[in-house]
């Protein structure tokens, strides 16, 4: 019956499409943004355990440790290898004289463990040269590019020179990294270079990255490291969750996105619910006719639910499709964080189903209570 | 009983038997007593018309007899079955199998084609849609529809055509009792007569009874008997062919 009433059918589908679009889009941006909070962890990849100062609350909460801490960690039973890693933020002066904050990653000089996985040009080993740095592609072509007076910009390339903390450095490679939460350029160098570029600090070590021996229970190894060194050891996954939860708890991000998602949900219920209910009121005579002709409440219930399910499917498909197309377009043309894992698709589908069945519930109640005698009333 | 028509009817099996049927709406001082002890019998093969002024209780009576409304008191059986002894599901199921409806405003579902509308009672009674629609097409052919019209939607049909579809829908599952509520009131005189001819021809068979509520005196000639109602009571039952002819020329 609903499909015959084109105006209401389209109205409900538009309501559900809008709700699905808003819920999926906002949740995907939220997921993308939250993934960026621990993108550094994903990029470094290899370590199974991250050892930090006990006061560290999340990955960007750097509390430098004693430079020899990694040697103490190496001595713990079950550790296959442990390397130092520096992470900090320094001001970089570009060729045109502007200053730009950059995320600096200092890699272990020997192993270069934690370096970028994808090199666009140059080679990771070039970092061992004096004053050498590798710059991420987005930063090299964007915030660190040389801006000409005519508005054009020249990206950094191998051989380009920049000043980090007033010390000259040479670009020896361009790499690809995951977008970061702060959305600032990422510069890789060796740990020893980092000690040169950073202003005089008593302690510099941000993390000790650890790989356990084959078959090691990582949680047990974490406990042994903590007992032996007095530092805090997290498995990679624990550190990721710790960071994620910190942003969830201490920033207004979730509330902002939850509000948008809730708004989509409520708008969906309001539009679809009202239209669905109006459709039922307009068709009460026909529901009454079906009842008089012997259609049971159960049969009518299934009929309404099937109609709700079909419009839910169409609205969901259109909404998710539009959100995905928008996300893919914006993701490739802007710095938009957009991540659409299957969990979000399920979440969005469930939300649309709840909207649809809530909308249908009002109609179902009306139809269930309808007296078939209504058919004889003029 | 000297009237041959009346004698013939009296010999037939009782389809509907009402005795002292009462029905009220509301309670206390605001209660409306719609039926005040109705005694009525409808026999198989008979077309009985129920006539009377607006608000006299006709609609309430056919609602009770058709099983879409429960009576308050008295006895009412349809083919020896008493609705008040059935639960809601049994009542719905009985109605689906045994009662056909023709409505004043046709009540054809606008989003379904003509054939699908006619197939509805069969589907409700458990038949699969495909054979149900095939059977509906056969029935529509009997009421004069061609293939093209079978695929039309109700809004594409004239009032007379829609009522023919409604009659086909009322008959398709071979119900034993058909209730028609003002079947000609939305039609012009000529179309109304054609519809009644069709109803009489196809609906009035040996094992089936028809109850028609109407205000239209032009169709009285199609009735075997006419029951006149006033203020919740049956005031007169006209059953001789000579009286019916006389009534056709006036309004009760």
What average pLDDT does chain B have? Answer: 88
State mean pLDDT over B178-199: 85
The answer to whether A310 contacts chain B (CB < 8 Å) is no
State mean pLDDT over A307-330: 91
| A262 three-state secondary structure | helix
Q: Which residues contact B59 (CB under 8 A, 6 or more apart)?
A: A376, A377, B181, B213
pLDDT confidence of A350, banded at 50, 70, 90?
A: very high
> Could you give the CA distance from residue A168 to residue B220 in angstroms, rounded to a whole number?
110
List, in sequence order, every residue forming a beta bridge with A211; answer none if it has no partner: A81
Strand order in the sheet with B32-43: B32-43, B14-25, B73-78, B81-82
Which one is predicted more confidently, B98 or B240? B98
State mean pLDDT over B98-103: 92
Q: B125: buried, middle or exposed (CB in 10 Å: 19+, 13-18, 0-12)? A: middle
State mean pLDDT over B218-231: 91
B62: nearest CA partner in chain A:
A376
Give tens-digit pLDDT for A207-261: 999 999 988 899 999 999 999 999 999 999 999 999 999 988 888 888 888 888 8
CA distance B68 to chain A (A): 5
Which one is predicted more confidently, B249 or B69? B69
Q: How many CB atoms lie within 10 A of CB B38?
A: 25
Which one is predicted more confidently, B127 or A282? B127
Q: Which residues contact A232 (CB under 8 A, 6 or more apart)?
A: A51, A52, A53, A54, A56, A226
Cβ contact, residue pair B68, A373, below 8 Å = yes
Tokens of B230: 């006033």
State mean pLDDT over B116-141: 94
Locus of tokens 């941000």: A206
Locus of tokens 């308050």: B72
Cβ contact, residue pair B62, A376, below 8 Å = yes
Cβ contact, residue pair B107, A285, below 8 Å = yes
ipTM of this predicted complex? 0.88
Query: Does A353 have pLDDT greater than 70?
Result: yes
Closest C-alpha to A85, from A55, A121, A46: A46
């Amino acid at each position: 019956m609903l499909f015959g009433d084109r105006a209401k059918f389209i109205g409900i589908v538009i309501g559900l499409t809008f709700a699905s679009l808003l819920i999926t889009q906002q949740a995907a941006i939220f997921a993308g943004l939250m993934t960026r909070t621990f993108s550094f962890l994903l990029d470094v990849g290899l370590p199974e355990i991250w050892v930090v100062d006990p006061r560290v609350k999340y990955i960007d909460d750097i509390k430098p440790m004693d430079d020899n801490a990694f040697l103490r960690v190496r001595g713990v039973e079950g550790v296959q290898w442990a390397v130092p890693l520096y992470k900090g933020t320094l001001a970089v002066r570009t060729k045109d004289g502007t200053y730009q904050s950059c995320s600096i990653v200092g890699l272990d000089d020997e192993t270069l463990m934690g370096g970028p996985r994808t090199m666009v040009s140059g080679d990771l080993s070039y970092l061992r040269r004096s004053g050498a740095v590798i710059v991420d592609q987005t930063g090299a072509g964007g915030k660190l590019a040389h801006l000409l007076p005519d508005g054009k910009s020249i990206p950094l390339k191998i051989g380009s020179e920049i000043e980090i903390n007033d010390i000259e450095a040479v670009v020896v490679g361009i790499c690809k990294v995951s977008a970061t939460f702060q959305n600032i350029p990422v510069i890789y160098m060796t740990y020893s270079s980092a000690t040169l570029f950073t202003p005089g600090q008593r302690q510099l070590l941000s993390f000790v990255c650890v790989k356990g021996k084959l078959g090691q229970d990582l949680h047990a190894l974490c406990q042994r490291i903590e007992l032996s060194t007095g530092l805090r050891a997290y498995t990679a996954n624990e550190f990721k969750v710790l960071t994620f939860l910190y942003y969830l708890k201490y920033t207004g991000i979730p509330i902002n996105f939850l509000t948008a998602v809730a708004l989509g949900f409520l708008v969906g219920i309001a539009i679809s619910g009202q239209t669905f209910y109006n459709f039922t009121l307009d068709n009460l005579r026909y529901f009454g006719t079906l009842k008089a002709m012997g259609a049971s409440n159960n049969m009518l219930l299934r009929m309404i639910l099937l109609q709700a399910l079909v419009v839910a499917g169409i609205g969901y498909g259109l909404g998710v499709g539009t959100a995905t197309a928008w996300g893919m377009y914006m993701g490739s043309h802007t710095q938009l964080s957009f991540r659409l894992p299957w969990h979000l698709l399920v979440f969005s589908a469930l939300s649309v189903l709840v909207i649809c069945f809530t909308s249908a519930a009002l109609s179902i109640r009306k139809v269930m209570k309808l007296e078939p005698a209504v058919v004889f009333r003029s | 009983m000297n009237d041959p028509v009346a004698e013939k009817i009296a010999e037939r099996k009782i389809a509907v038997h009402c005795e002292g049927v009462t029905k009220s709406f509301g309670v206390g001082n605001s209660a409306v007593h719609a039926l005040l002890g109705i005694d009525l019998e409808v026999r198989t093969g008979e077309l009985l018309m129920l006539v009377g002024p607006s608000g006299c209780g006709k609609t309430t009576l056919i609602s009770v007899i058709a099983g879409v409304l429960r009576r308050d008191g008295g006895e009412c059986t349809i083919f020896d079955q008493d609705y008040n002894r059935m639960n809601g599901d049994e009542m719905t199921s009985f109605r689906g199998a045994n009662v056909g409806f023709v409505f004043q405003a046709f009540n054809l579902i606008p989003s379904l084609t003509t054939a699908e509308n006619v197939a509805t009672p069969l589907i409700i009674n458990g038949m699969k849609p495909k054979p149900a629609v095939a059977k509906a097409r056969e029935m529509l052919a009997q009421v004069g529809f061609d293939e093209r019209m079978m695929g039309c939607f109700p809004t594409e049909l004239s009032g007379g055509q829609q009522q023919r579809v409604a009659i086909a829908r009322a008959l398709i599952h071979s119900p034993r009792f058909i209730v028609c509520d003002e079947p000609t009131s939305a039609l012009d005189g000529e179309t109304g007569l054609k519809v009644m001819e069709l109803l009489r021809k196809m609906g009035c068979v040996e094992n089936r009874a028809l109850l028609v509520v109407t205000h239209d005196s032009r169709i009285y000639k199609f009735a075997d008997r006419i029951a006149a109602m006033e203020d919740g009571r049956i005031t007169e039952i006209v059953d001789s062919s000579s009286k019916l002819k006389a009534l056709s020329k006036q309004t009760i």
